[in-house]
Amino acid sequence: MKKQTGLITLITAVCLASCNPSQDNMQRKDIQLITVAPGHFHAALVQKSMYPQVDSVVHVYAPEGVELDAYLALIDQYNTRGESPTRWDEAIYTGTDFLERMLEERKGNVVVLAGNNRDKIDYITRSIDAGLNVLADKPMAINTEGFSKLVDAFAKADEQGVLLYDIMTERYEINTMLQKELSQVPDFFGGLEKGTADNPAITKESVHHFFKEVSGKPLVRPVWFYDSRQQGEGLVDVTTHLVDMVQWESFPGEVIDHERDIELISAKRWPTLLSPAQFERSTGQQEIPAFLEESVREDGNLAVFANGEINYTLKGVHAKVSVIWNFEAPQGTGDTHYSIMRGKYADLIIKQGAEEGYKPVLYVESTGERDTAAFEAALTQAIEQLRADYKGLAFEPVAPGRYRVSVDPSLVTTHEEHFAQVTEKYLGFLESGAMPEWEVPNMIAKYYLTTKALTEAETVTAP
């Protein structure tokens, strides 16, 4: 790994200085990454694997500091690991004009963004304006102002012939994939229920933790992570994944019109309280900075609006998504996910609690519309139908009318591994020069809902 603070020399077989880094380079499989201000560990996870069509030299433009150091430490860890080490060569510029220098030099054709979410939307728009493709960590917008800029960015990307895409890792979790697949077998599932506000057809709940390990080491959070004006509140952060999964599973391949197909019913938010000791343990900083003082309660605890719930309808189907942030998971546990899709004949439920060893497991439950024999016959046929695409797919009864679905362990991948899967999908889009027609409108719909929900929740909740 090499580090430079001046002009970076690009080592590549194709000189990009005399041409616009556009889709022409994709056809030559000459994809070069530019990482800008990698303040979140997700930037490094994009590089946990190598990709045959991506140059090993990654140009990094960022301010000096602990965030850049943490990113570089992870890259070095991946480069030096014993099994399947990566070969990334980081060429780094750390001047205060890092963004302007990146836009001037354009040492690659794909900008990777994962960091301060307040700044991210401007990095997106300026990169798109410069004719660069962008792969951005979620969320791409954290308020209605950012949403408006994002809509404009998608329009400009279309004009420029470049691709703007967000990193939706949860689409690659095997239980979520199977939940989606089984819901699309009409003879078994019977179609998605419409539900009600009190009993939605789809519910997705996620529990996350501020203090955790990443790639086997304790994660150090940047202090701005606890400022909702920079990180974004829970309603617009992790909730992005949940809203995406509702859309992706319920209406696969369908375009969602955010003005016509989405109706917000209610939204709420509430804080997680962190003690000064927890703040220090998480960030390594002994003092809470001045920009967070207005979030410090009388008892000295820091109030972080990381939690939220959205009730809405999508094409007439009632859905509820919620996210909760605790400080640290109990020993032996971690982030958890709960999801249910209710059909006429079956409920598809993902649980990740003590019974499952804190690993996600998909259950199928009969709604009672069919007798046991008929239900099991339909489930057997659905499993047989999907088995060709999912090695080892099977089910076993765990209680009357309740079944546990399993697959070959080789299909079970981790959250960190999902970043490579998302990146590979995006690289495929770059090489073909286009994304499916539903991706952009559905990204717009997703951020429309989350930012609108935040505005709604702020009107009914005192800070």
pLDDT at 348 over 50: yes
H/E/C letters for each residue in the chain?
CCCCCCCCCCCCCCCCCCCCCCHHHHHCCCECEEEECCCCCHHHHCCCCCCCCECCEEEEECCCCHHHHHHHHHHHHHHHCCCCCCCCEEEEECCCCHHHHHHHHCCCCEEEECCCHHHHHHHHHHHHHCCCEEEECCCCCCCHHHHHHHHHHHHHHHHHCCCEEECCHHHHCHHHHHHHHHHCCHHHHCCECCECCCCECEEEEEEEEEECEECCEECCCCHHHHCHHHHCCHHHCCHHHHHHHHHHHHCCCCCCCCCCCEEEEEEEEEEEEECHHHHHHHHCCCCCCHHHHHHECCCCCEEEEEEEEEEEEECCEEEEEEEEEEEECCCCCCCEEEEEEEECCEEEEEECCHHHCCCCEEEEEECCCCCHHHHHHHHHHHHHHHHCCCCCCEEEEEECCEEEEECCHHHCCCHHHHHHHHHHHHHHHHHHCCCCCCHHHHHHHHHHHHHHHHHHHHHHCCC
pTM: 0.90
pLDDT > 60? residue 27:
no
Most confident of 6-10, 227-231, 311-315: 311-315
219 has pLDDT over 90: no
Could you tell me the domains of the chain?
Answer: 23-166 (3.40.50.720), 171-418+453-460 (3.30.360.10)
Question: What is the average pLDDT score of the chain?
Answer: 92
Tell me: the pLDDT tens digits for 106-128? 999 999 999 999 999 999 999 99
Residue pLDDT, tens place only, 318-333: 999 999 999 988 777 7
Q: Would you state the pLDDT for residue 1?
A: 52
Res 169 pLDDT > 90: yes
Q: What is the pLDDT of residues 200-209, one digit of tens each?
A: 999 999 998 9
Share of the chain above pLDDT 70, in %: 93
Is the confidence at residue 255, as pLDDT, over 90?
Answer: yes
The region of weakest confidence among 64-68, 150-154, 222-226 is 222-226
- Render pLDDT for 355-411 as a digit per residue (tens, 0 to 9): 898 899 999 999 999 999 999 999 999 999 999 999 999 999 999 999 999 999 999
pLDDT at 310 over 90: yes
* pLDDT exceeds cutoff 50 at 45: yes
The predicted pLDDT at position 23 comes to 46
Residue 19, pLDDT score: 43
Residue 220 confidence (pLDDT): 86
How much is the pLDDT for 162? 98
